[in-house]
Amino acid sequence: MRKPIVGGNWKMNRGTPEECKDMLMNFVPLIKNLLNVDVVIAPPFTGLISAYEIIKGTNVKLGAQNMYYEENGAFTGEISPKFLKSIGVEYVILGHSERRNIFNESDVLVNKKLKKALLVGLKPIVCIGEHLEEREAGRTKDIIKFQINESFKDLNKDQMIQTVIAYEPIWAIGTGKTATPEQAEEIHMFIRGLISQRYDQETADSVRIQYGGSVKPNNAEILFSKENIDGGLVGGASLQAESLAEIVLAADKSFQ
Ligand code: PEP
């Protein structure tokens, strides 16, 4: 059995210390007794320290939205994974489609970041997913296979198991269009099959695969009820304490 994981990706939205504190002071009490789900909040870098003050010692863990693959050096504007660890960050989102599409991050770069995150002991959440035109052209599985091969290159079994995969069809992110539970389940099953081919069934059964793309309180339960969907990565609906708490509750229920 895989424990579901729900991540709140605040993108470049709630980012001041006050905004983070306000949201989390409301959110933490709403979900504090839930033990069947891992919960991660990923504010912008400017909110990490104040967020940690509120969630330290609770069941909510801190995530960053990005990192660089070097620890120190002349990399103006980048963030070292060691710096993130030093302020309580436990998880890091890598290869989000906004990083891939707006900032031209390639699978090669995502792979370097992923290997570094694992090396320093950050838990990676790696996003993959297809564009609408790719889905309409019947190429979804080819795209996913390519991303799995390239972004997850050279990982050993243990590293693969420590990595959370977020399947996020790009056409469903921030658009209000959710993949149907059946569409999402089909791709999650496909991903698990790829992992089983590369490693073995035990590894495939251990890797957590989140769904992301317009997850809301009204669709979370049905999505998370699918056998291969292990929680969600949530953008818009993670900005409000109540809606994120409802989604976390749905994930918690799915594990009972
Ligand atoms: C995301 O940012 O990863 C995401 C899935 O956003 P939204 O829930 O707003 O579609």
**With a 6 A CB cut-off, is 232 part of the ligand 1 pocket?**
no
The ligand 1 atom nearest the CA atom of 234 = 8
Distance 131 CA to ligand 1 centre (A): 14
Q: What is this structure's pTM? A: 0.97
Label residue 154 by pLDDT band (50, 70, 90). very high
The ligand 1 atom nearest the CA atom of 237 = 8
Told to judge if 96 belongs to the known catalytic residues of this protein, a careful annotator would answer: yes
The ligand 1 atom nearest the CA atom of 215 = 8
Distance 141 CA to ligand 1 centre (A): 21
Q: Residue 1's pLDDT is what?
A: 83
Annotate the chain with three-state secondary structure: CCCCEEEEECCCCCCCHHHHHHHHHHHHHHHCCCCCCEEEEECCHHHHHHHHHHHCCCCEEEEECCCCCCCCCCCCCCCCHHHHHHCCCCEEEECCHHHHHHCCCCHHHHHHHHHHHHHHCCEEEEEECCCHHHHHCCCHHHHHHHHHHHHCCCCCHHHHHHCEEEECCHHHCCCCCCCCHHHHHHHHHHHHHHHHHHCCHHHHHHCCEEEECCCCHHHHHHHHCCCCCCCEEECHHHCCHHHHHHHHHHHHHHCC
Distance 174 CA to ligand 1 centre (A): 5
Told to judge if 168 belongs to the known catalytic residues of this protein, a careful annotator would answer: yes
Q: Which of 98, 105, 134, 168 is catalytic?
A: 168
Q: Residue 176's pLDDT is what?
A: 84
Average pLDDT, the chain: 97
Distance 74 CA to ligand 1 centre (A): 32
Mutate to test the pocket of ligand 1, among 66, 94, 168 (most ligand atoms within 8 A of CB): 168
How confident is the model over 174-231, as pLDDT tens digits?
888 889 999 999 999 999 999 999 999 999 999 999 999 999 999 999 999 999 999 9
